[in-house]
Amino acid sequence: MRGNKKKVYLDYNSTTPIDKRVLEEMLPFFTEKFGNASSISHAYGWDAEEGVELARDRVAKLINAKSNEIYFTSGGTESINLALLGICKANESKGNHLITCQTEHKAVLDTCEQLIQNGTDITYLPVSKSGNIDLQQLQESITKQTIAVCLMHANNEIGTIHPLAKISKITRESNVLLVTDASQSAGKIPLDVDAYGVDIAILSAHKMYGPKGVGALYVRSGVQLTPMHYGGGQERKLRPGTLNTPGIVGFGKAAELCHMEMQKDADRLQKLIELIEYEFAEEPGIHINGENGQRLPHVTNLTFENIDGSRLIRTLKNLAVSQSSACSSNTLKPSHVLTAIGHDPLLALSSLRIGIGRFTTKNEVRLAIGDIMNAVDQLKLTAP
Ligand code: PLP
């Protein structure tokens, strides 16, 4: 970023900085504890294995799972691929139908595209203005061929939370699996896989102050998944390959910190988001996306009528905010989430996602509000 003014990071839904306490715990696993967690014949391997198993316990505790239901992967995207491709393959004899919704992350939507090539039938449920699915419509979409329902816990662009406990009542009654992408929610809001009736959950460490390139898949005991890779048999043969010990150790520490500090962080961040939304709600031509639904406490998504979104981002030189989700920000396509909640494509392009987190201060939020207000006023004046 250019300029001398203080830079403010407001893109915590894209990624988070590593908490220093996480980094501290990781460091020895790069140097003196560098062993391969699968080397069971010496102390270097035992140290690494101990680190990995502690991390597994901590990640399991965060979502109220059992440790042996956690499998480490390279991140949310890999976990999603393994979950969806793996259950479809394992359940070929049961059926070939999957239900998801239009506002899922690209990692889910693109995996579904691949599944369609393989002969799977996919139903994409529409969503309301607040980003919620209609539960009656979900129930009616389930057929004898349905293997699973895949619905994200919280949306990465507008923060809408799907009511997993209500959804699992439907899936359980129909004997269908519930898969949830919890990359954005885990560590931010409670996720109790037992109480919510989730069968498979996807987690990503870098969204919760842990390192990039590490994730996990929660698979309820008894649920069958076919592996997508073959090799040394690690992760009980579901995800073979030498484990990324420092990354996994960091993920474990991050999960422990989130477990301990989630409520405190959420309460503080919710107040800061309310401050932002209060300021913008008063302004004509500004909409808060997903406003009336249950949402993540640390994100807001605003649409500005008659403002060019790209020019707005360029004007906000000192703010790291996102025009859409990070994964599609190289293309100037309107966000599929914003069009799914009813915005026309032009309006969808005139939107900002503000994601705050553990290290965001009130002062930074105030600075951001002032900068955005000024930029909007300036762009309104210069609009053709
Ligand atoms: N799912 C959601 C909802 C996300 O926001 C992301 C990251 O942007 C992912 C999946 C992908 O996770 P990862 O970056 O760990 O591959």
Say if residue 323 is in the same domain as residue 234: no
Alpha-carbon distance of 182 to 155, in angstroms, equals 9
Nearest alpha carbon, ligand 1 atom 4: 183
Last residue of a domain, one of 257, 274, 307: 257
Average confidence (pLDDT) over 148-159? 98
Name which of 77-86, 161-170, 278-287, 316-325 the model is least confident about.
316-325
30 — pLDDT class (breaks 50, 70, 90): very high
| Residues 337-359, mean pLDDT to the nearest whole number | 94
Residue 3 lies in a domain: no
> For residue 268, what pLDDT is reported?
98
Same structural domain, 349 and 238: no
Q: Report the number of distinct structural domains present in the chain.
A: 2
Q: Give mean pLDDT, residues 276-305.
A: 93
Q: Where are the alpha helices (DSSP H) in 282-361?
A: 309-315, 336-340, 345-349
In terms of domains, do 294 and 237 share one?
no
Residue-by-residue DSSP string for 214-229 = -EEEEE-TT-----S-
Do the domain assignments include residue 284?
yes
Please give the pLDDT value at position 382. Answer: 72
Domain end position, chosen among 257, 289, 312: 257
Closest listed residue to residue 149, CA positions, set 111, 127, 175: 175
Ligand 1 atom nearest to 204, measured from its CA: 15
CA–CA gap between residue 331 and residue 322 (Å, rounded):
13
Please say if the pLDDT value at position 352 is more than 70: yes
* 328 in the same domain as 196: no
The answer to whether residues 159 and 134 belong to one domain is yes
Asked if the structure places residue 1 within a domain, the reply is no
CB-based pocket (< 6 A), ligand 1 = 75-77, 105, 107, 152, 156, 181, 183-184, 204, 206, 215, 326-327
User: Which CATH number do you get for residue 197?
Assistant: 3.40.640.10
- pLDDT tens-digit profile of 299-309? 999 999 989 88
State the pLDDT at residue 253.
Answer: 98
Distance 204 CA to ligand 1 centre (A): 7
Question: Are residue 185 and residue 219 in the same domain, yes or no?
Answer: yes
User: How high does pLDDT run on average in the chain?
Assistant: 94
Do 105 and 213 lie in one domain? The reply is: yes
Q: What was the pLDDT predicted at 36?
A: 97
- HSE-CB at 354 with a 13 A cutoff on CA atoms is 28
pLDDT in tens, 50-75: 999 999 999 999 999 999 999 999 99
- Nearest-CA residue for ligand 1 atom 13 is 76
302 belongs to a structural domain: yes
Do 45 and 133 sit in the same domain of this protein? yes
Domain assignment present for residue 2? The answer is no
Residue 291 and residue 232 share a domain: no
More confident residue, 283 or 244: 244
Same domain, 273 and 210: no
- Which of residues 211, 234, 257 is at a domain's end? 257
Q: What is the pLDDT of residue 331?
A: 60
Asked whether residue 87 falls in the same domain as residue 61, the answer is yes
Q: Is residue 327 part of a domain?
A: yes
* Residue 332's CATH number: 3.90.1150.10
Domain that holds residue 140: 20-257
| Ligand 1 pocket test target in 150, 207, 212, 244 with most atoms within 8 Å of CB | 207
Point out the least confidently predicted range of 114-118, 194-198, 376-380.
376-380
The verdict on residue 75 lying in a domain is yes
Instruction: Give yes or no: residues 54 and 201 share one domain.
Output: yes
Amino acid at residue number 56: R
Q: Could you tell me the pTM of the whole model?
A: 0.96
pLDDT given at position 211 = 98
Active site residues: 327
Closest CA to 188 of 80, 261, 275, 271: 261
Nearest-atom index, ligand 1, CA of 326: 8
**Residue 250 forms part of a structural domain:** yes
